Every structure is written in C-alpha cells, then in structure tokens.
Structure 1
Amino acid sequence: MGKDWGSLPWLMSMLICLYTLVVWAGRKSPKLPPGPKGLPLLGSLLELGNRPHAALATLAKTHGPLMTLRLGLRTVVVASSSDMAKEVCQKNDHALASRFAPEAIKVDSHDQYSIAWGGISPLWRNVRRVSTTHLFTKQQVESQEFLHHQKVQQMVGIIEKDCAAKRAVAIRRVAFLTGINLLSNMIFSVDVVDPEASEFKQLLSSLGEELGRPNVADYFPLLRHFDLQGIQRRAAGCIKKLHQIFNEKIEERLRFRESGQPRCGDFLDILLDPIDAKGSKFSRAEILSLIIELYFGGSESNSITVEWAMAELLHNPAQMATVKQELSEKVGHQRAVEEADMDRLPYLQAVIKESLRLHPPGPLLLPRRADATVEIAGFVIPKHTTVVINVWAISREARTWENPTTFSPERFIGSDVNYKGGDFSFIPFGAGRRICPGLLLAERIVQLMLASLLQSFDWELPLGWKPEEMDMSEELGFTLHKKVPLEVIPMKKN
C-alpha cells in the first residue's frame, strides 16, 4: 500500500499532463457533438451523482440528443433520443458494436470471453451462436416450458409458507432465487440454491454491487493498476468463489462421462462437446465466464422487472384490479397459469411493457465503443470513443409518450410497439447486433412469474401503508433497482 501511495504525486503530474492534451485535442475536434464544459481533470463526473441516467437526461435538454461529455480522461458521447439511438444501433451498428469494458469486468479476463462485454470476434460469434442455438431460440425456450412451470410453482409453494405465517415476502429475492434455480437446471440439470440458504445468491449480488460502483480506474486509466477502491479485488473474490462452485460441477460431469454414464442433455454437455468439425472445444476459462454471465444476466434483470411491476401495481390499485380481473376471466383459479395462457392476457403483457418503459433494468444499456470514426447528425464520433444510449431518457420522450412519467399500461393496448429492437423509442433490451440474446427467455419467465404471483395471492402492504405512501424511488447500481426493496404480505385468495 505504501508503495502505491508513494507513486501518487507522479501519477497526478501525469494526469494533469494528459488532461492538458485532452483539452488541446478537444479544441482540434470542433465537430464533436456539443456538451458541458466540465471541470479541469474531472470533467462532468461530479454532475452525474447517484442517478446518472437522470442527470444525463437533464443535460441532454440543454445540449441536445447527441452530446459529448468528458468523464475524467475519457470522452463519452451520449444518445438520448430515439432518432439518435437508431443512428447508433442501426445505421452505424457495425462501427459502434464493440464495448467499453470497466476494469472490474476484466478480472480473470472475463471480458475477453463475454457475450455482453466482449468485442466482436470469432470467439464472440461462437459463444453467442452456441448460447442462442441451445438456450434462446423459440424452439428451445418452448421445450423448457415444463421446467419454467415447475420452478415458478416451487416459488409459489415457498410463498404459501409465508402466507400461512403472515410474513412479508421480499419480491426481488424470491424472483431472483427462482431465476437462479431455473438457470441451474438448464445448465447443470440440478438446483444450486437452497431457498433457505442463499450463499450463491449473495455471491452474485455482491458481484453486481462491485460492477455497479463508480470506479475511478474507469475514468483515469493510469489508476487501473492501483485498485484504490478495492473494487477489482472484491470482484475477483466473488468470481473466484463462483469458479470453485462451477468447477466442482464441471469435474463431476467429466467423471460421469468417463464412467460411461448417459448424457444429461443440458447446456453443460453442449459446452463440453466439440464446437466444430475439427474437434475444437471451449476452454475452461471460456466456459466459466459464460456460465457466470448466464446466471448474472438471467436472474438479476428478471427479478428487478418483476419487483417493479408488482410495485407499480400496488402503487396503482386501479391497474391492479384490471390485471387481476383479466387473470380471473381468462384463466380462473382452478389451475395454475401457464405460458400458453399469455396470448390471452394482453393487459398483463402491457403491465410488463410499461414497467420496462419506466424502469429499464439497464437505463444506459452497456456502453459501446467506436471501432472506426463515424459521422452522426453532422457530428464526428472519433474512433475509440465510448458511446452510451440513455434508454431511460428515450422511454420518457414527451414527443413519443403521452404523460411519460405516468404508469399507464393502457398505452400499449392495441399498440404494435414492442421491445424486440425495431422500435427505437422502446429498447430496454438494446437493439442491433448487441441486443440481449436472452430476450425471449426473459419475456417468458417474467410473464409467468408475475402472472403466478397475482393469480395465487392477494397482496397487502405492511404496517397499514397506503398505496400513495409507497416509496417508489430508484437506485442505480449495475441495474436500476427499487431503492427500498418491495416487501409485501401474501394473502389467501377469497
């Protein structure tokens, strides 16, 4: 530690020199989009606060839907309108498809093997192709319907115990655990989480917390070797423990194969098989990184979406009554709701869409990086520039959405607008080649979870709180979650 701190005066001198070069370079680039001037060295970092998506939306009202910010020593271009999102994700998708990977995600070279964070490369294409083909196609998702139903009904069974004891249920937690065990069965054919003892959940949550912390090393590259905040160290600790868990599963599977036992036919079997005619296989590091990513991406976003949807319905009793009436009329209470029912539940689907519009799990998506200099709306985006799409701002554009801050699922009834990447006013899952590959699976699971929670129980706010008294404030870590977790009391249906 003493050695690190002794180098800081030299580092600060270098940073000041670099800052001078950045300012000089900026003066030589008059075609960059406009933006705030910012402070010396820090740029606009201090303006972002703990809700950067909202701060950037406010800045865009002054500087325009395509603006430039200096964040430390990095130049960042922010797109804050559907038109600019289309320019980035469609017209210039090829040149802007790489990623800016934060330092915490580079632990154990995770970014190099990542679908979400990796650059476009043959490895990236292979990993994405295998994942999509064996997990995320419509055929594969439909083939797993029984598993989806089984795990969601297990969730209902756990909540029934809380209902009998009149205990409040933490919605995000039960949805998160359900998502983890669903993925575990898809990958390993077994549960890896005991709902009563969720160490695995805590590891994933802790990793998410570290990835969501502002890291000075991301804005001042020379500091990446010092890890002054301990973020990389803590992220590495979480990843190491997750690797230990997954390595045990992999070694067990390899022993089964060697002993001649029949294949499980799950995703781990696919990953351990050759991926081409030459017999090439994924390395252990590639397999471990992909499994972590599947767990992280497939449980965190889904659980947050379910929590926000439940919170908005409880906060808006009229909409709650409408969705419950739809479930009662179209499905009833004699059997559990199924995925096959979803096409007959348009209001439930509209509730989820409206929740995603107001509370996109990734309000700034994952940052892109320019692989080549491109021109957008008469401005130049230089090569290596970080490009951010503010979907939170886009989904609240007044010119597109009437009463944009109001929770109104009715706006989607009879509307063709969807989140599949073609409507740039509504892209919570991204668009272009960087759209979330697990979109279809996420859609199915969120719909089934929410429908099951509403069909199986009535819900009551604790401590006699009234709907209008609910704290609906948000907090941005790695994802946009409810600042005060939703805890509500399940009641038996009358």
Structure 2
Amino acid sequence: MIMWYIIVAVVILASLLVARNMRKTKKNLPPGPPRLPIIGNLHQLGSKPQRSMLELSEKYGPLMSLKFGNVPTVVASSPETVKDVLKTFDADCCSRPYLTYAARISYNLNDLAFSPYSKYWREVRKMTVLELYTAKRVQSFRHVREEEVASLVEFVKESASLGNAVNLSNTLMKLSGSVICRVGFGINLKGSKLEDTYEEVIRETMEVLGSFAAADYLPIIGRIIDRVTGLHSKCEKQHMEDESLKDDIIALLLKMERGEAGLGEYQLTRNHTKGILLVNTSGHTITWAMTHMIKNPRILKKAQAEVREVIKNKDTITEEDIEQLEYLKMVMKETVRINPLVPLLIPREASKDIKIAGYDVPKKTWIHVNIWGVHRNPNVWNDPEAFIPERFMDNEIDYKGLNFELLPFGSGRRMCPGMGMGMALAHLTLINLLYRFDWKLPEGMEIEDVDLEESYGLVSPKKVPLQLVPVLTQWS
C-alpha cells in the first residue's frame, strides 16, 4: 500500500512538472542566441557590452532574450521597443533589480539611480525634481558655472602662452568636479584633498557601477569570481565615508535629516543624503565634442566661425549666448548621439508580466535598454558611425526624453534629472573653448592618430586622454 502512495505521488509530481514546463513553452519569448550551462550568455558580453549587444541584436532582433547566469534578461535596441519600455510600460518596468556593488557604493541603494521603485523613491524623486533640478534652481547656480569656466579659460591661456599641450580629458573632468563640489558640497575642488584624485575616483566608481558583476548572476560562486577579477576590491576602495557635506544643494538634504523638512513619512539619514547625490559627467561630453571636431577640421572651423560671429568682441560670454548658436547645438546633439555617456541604461526589472513588440516579458525579467544600439541603428540614422552635426538641421529631434531615437539621458520616471545642469555647463564651456582659442594637435601627431575608443563603465569616457595645444587669438 505504501508503495502505491509513493507511485501516485511521483506521478502527480511528474504531471505538475510537465504542466509547468508546458506553460513555460507557451510563452512567446523574444528570440536570442544559444546559452551555455550555468553562465548562460555572460561569455558573449565582452569588454564593451553595448557593442556586443548591438551585434547580437542585428541577428536576433530589436527585442532580444539573453540569460546572464540564472537571470532572464531582455535587451531593447530600437526606438519602438525602447519606447515600450520607457513610456508605454514605464510603470511596470521602472524598478531596479538588486545590484551587489551598486548597493555597496550607493549606501544600500539609497540613491535615485539604483533604488527600487517604491514610495521612498517617488518621494525622493519628487523632492529632487521640484527642489534641486528645476530650471530656476539650475539658473541660481549660473554664477558658479561662469566662474569655474572663467578659471578654466585662465588655465588654458597660461598653457597657450607657454606653448604647452592641455590634457583636456583631465582638465574638463576637474571643471565638472569643481562645479559639483561648489554646488553640492560648498567646497572648492582646487586646493582640496580631492583635487588630484577626483578623476580616478570617479572613473573607478563608474567602472564598478557599470560592471556585469558575477555576484549578481551566479549565486555562491559569483563573489569568489569577483574577488579573483578584482571587482570586489575596487568596490571597497570606492566605498568611503565623507563627513564634509554642507551648504547649497546639500543643505536641503541635511535639513531633512534634522527633521526640518521631510519626505512625507520618511526620515533621511546621512547615508540617504550621500546616496541621493549624482555625479556630473559633463566634462566627458565636452571632451568628446572637442575630439570629434579636431578629427573633422571642417566642423571645427564652422563651429568656431558661428561662435565668433555671434559673440563678436564680448569679454564675458553668458548662457544667453547659447540660444543663438544653432550649429553649436547641432554639434552637441551629434556628440551625445554618437557617444552617449550612459551606453546601457541601468537595468530595470519587470514588476509583472508584460508584452513588448508581441513578445512575452515575464515578471522579474531584467531589462537592458541599449542606448548605444539605438543611436547607432542604421534604420534610424544614415551613416550612423559618422560625426555629422548637419543631420539635425531642420530636424526637431532633441535629447530631452521625448524622441526615442535620441535618449542620452533616458526617458520616463528614471530619466536623469541633472540633464539641465550638465548641458548648461557643457555648452558654456564649449563656447569659450571655441571662441577664445584655436586648437592644434601636439607636434608629430596627425588627425588619424586621434583615438575614438571609449572606456566602458556606467559612463563611457574617452579611453585615451585628449591632448591638444591651444593657440591664443585676439579674443583670448
């Protein structure tokens, strides 16, 4: 009799397993490449995942299934599929999966970028948008941007008078760092203990945050792998306590810590305050713009001619001047198209079953939006690998999150709220560099020697620093 009970139990269990597998097979999942046991498709990512994903999507389609370890994943890489993710189903797939090292660096996901979609996140987002990143607030820090750009100009003048090359990659990162330190912390980067280490700290932090960590995809053995690769130790290096936060933007957050202002039912702690702060990477955008223009002398000459015609003999350049510079704005659009600073948006997680482009995306699936792939899609852009600012002439496409062909700052609930602050600095800096100086390559270097390779991380800066020689002009 006991044997019969065992047999019946086995039959029922087998039937349930078969039924579950049949239900699984009924799902119409997006196509994707074959997978290896245990690691799935992790071996196909390479050193630049955005490029690998684009190549795979050219074969398997604009919505593609992958599996990273034990994590089911889809990748969207066309304006239509990206629009579904970021707009049509934004509410259903705007949460974040738990990312091991992002949690460590961002004080247990207490930031805007990596925090799961929740009541806490909505309150923080509302506060930052209304109080920190409105047009009025961005305008209130205009004097900081103008003062820091003026300081940059003086440094470049000194280099030009000596005939020295300027490491623009490093110099422009320090510029954006100086603005962040003054606006966010009320301190000057120049002369501080951060001055010589700022670029390295930010670069390594972005590498960690953008990594495909084995700990996220391979339970048990993942952390061991990350220790072997050095990712774990690199994360620990970036997880630093800093009690120097004060003034300006930070003052509002600190008031919330003290209970003088509030996030509804939430009480902020110091770790929340640190986690909410965003890093301004506009220095990378300016570097890429200068890189492409020095590679294309026609574009550099045309941009300089416009700037000098509009500005004429003004000693002080202001942000109002930006609006009159139509070609310069095209240059900036083309820069963030061909080199989006965040090539792969931070992964999302579907909070329920959804259907995109006719395919099933089950609950808990991770969703990657390949901005790099959208911006390099030949079905969207003619000659996508070429730097052609004129493609935006008589073209209403903009980077503010409403046109899904161009999304350097994302779109929807998770769109980068610091866009206005960053682009204001990028435009103002570029105007000054083009107006006040001519630029040439260091002696012995040809245009063909200017490298266009990007480093990979959460953001993708230029891999080889840009070195240019400034030449004083009558407007210097």
Of 395, 407, 425, 1:445 maps to 425
Partner of 1:234: 234
Distance 2:130 2:264 in 1: 19
Distance 1:203 1:334, change over 3 A: same
Does the 8 Å CA contact 1:113/1:123 hold for their aligned counterparts? no
**1:99 Cα offset (Å):** 1.4
Residues 193, 200 of structure 1: 8 Å contact kept = no
Q: How does 1:315-334 map to 2 (within 5 A)?
A: 315-334=295-314
8 Å CA contact 2:39, 2:218 repeated in 1: no
More helix by share: 1
Match of 2:249 among 267, 283, 298: 267
Residue of 167, 177, 181 corresponding to 1:180:
177
**Counterpart residue type for residue 267 of structure 1:** I
Quickly say closer, same or farther: Cα 1:140–1:435, change in 2 above 3 A: same
In structure 2, how many angstroms separate the alpha carbons of the residues matched to 1:454 and 1:25? 64
| Distance in 1, Cα, partners of 2:447 & 2:306 | 21
Contact conserved, 1:353 with 1:409, CA < 8 A, in 2? yes
What is the CA–CA distance in structure 2 between the aligned matches of 1:450 and 1:78, rounded to whole Å? 34
Aligned to 1:73: 70
Higher alpha-carbon deviation: 91-100 or 276-285: 276-285
Deviation at residue 314 of structure 1 after TM alignment? 0.3
Distance between the aligned counterparts of 2:351 and 2:263, measured in 1?
Answer: 31
Please state how far the C-alpha of 1:463 moved relative to its aligned partner.
2.7
Residues in 1 aligned to 2:273 and 2:142: alpha-carbon distance in whole angstroms: 25
Render the CA deviation track for 1:424-452: whole Å, top value 9, x for unaligned.
11111101111111111111111111111
In structure 1, the residue matched to 2:12 is none
- Equivalent in the alignment of 1:481: 461
TM-score (norm 1): 0.85
Pair 1:279–1:272, CA change in 2 (3 A): farther
Quote the Cα distance in structure 1 between the aligned partners of 2:71 and 2:265: 42
8 A contact 1:34–1:68 mirrored in 2: yes
Structure 2 counterparts to residues 365-444 of structure 1, below 5 A: 365-444=345-424
Radius of gyration: which is bigger? 2
Structure 2 equivalent of residue 157 of structure 1: 154
Answer yes or no: is the 8 Å Cα contact 2:353–2:362 preserved in 1.
yes
Contact 1:305 1:446 in 2 (8 A): yes
C-alpha distance in 1 between matches for 2:341 and 2:431: 20
Residue matched to 1:289: 275
Secondary structure in structure 1 of the residue aligned to 2:220: helix
Structure 1 residues not aligned, in runs of 5+: 1-23, 254-263
Contact 1:336/1:452, CA 8 A, preserved across alignment = no
Instruction: Please give the per-residue CA displacement for 1:254-294, whole angstroms capped at 9, x wherever unaligned.
Output: xxxxxxxxxx5x12221122333989642111112223xx2
Q: Which amino acid aligns with 1:140?
A: R
SS of equivalent to 2:93 = coil
Q: CA deviation at 1:312?
A: 0.3
Contact 2:124 2:263 in 1 (8 A): no
Tell me the alpha carbon deviations over residues 68-89 of structure 1, each in whole angstroms, 9 at most, x when there is no partner: 0112222110011000011111
Paired residue secondary structure (2:121): helix
Letter of the 1:365 partner, please give it: L
Identify the residue that residue 214 of structure 2 maps to in structure 1.
216
Per the alignment, residue 459 of structure 1 pairs with 439
228-237 or 128-137, which deviates more: 228-237
CA RMSD of aligned residues (A): 2.4
What's the secondary structure of 1:75's corresponding residue? strand
Report the equivalent of 1:199. Answer: 197
Q: Percent identity?
A: 30
Give the residue type in structure 2 aligned to 1:271: L
Secondary structure, in 3 states, of the residue corresponding to 1:167? Answer: coil
Residues 327 and 345 in structure 1, CA contact (< 8 A), matched pair in contact too = yes
1:119 maps to 116
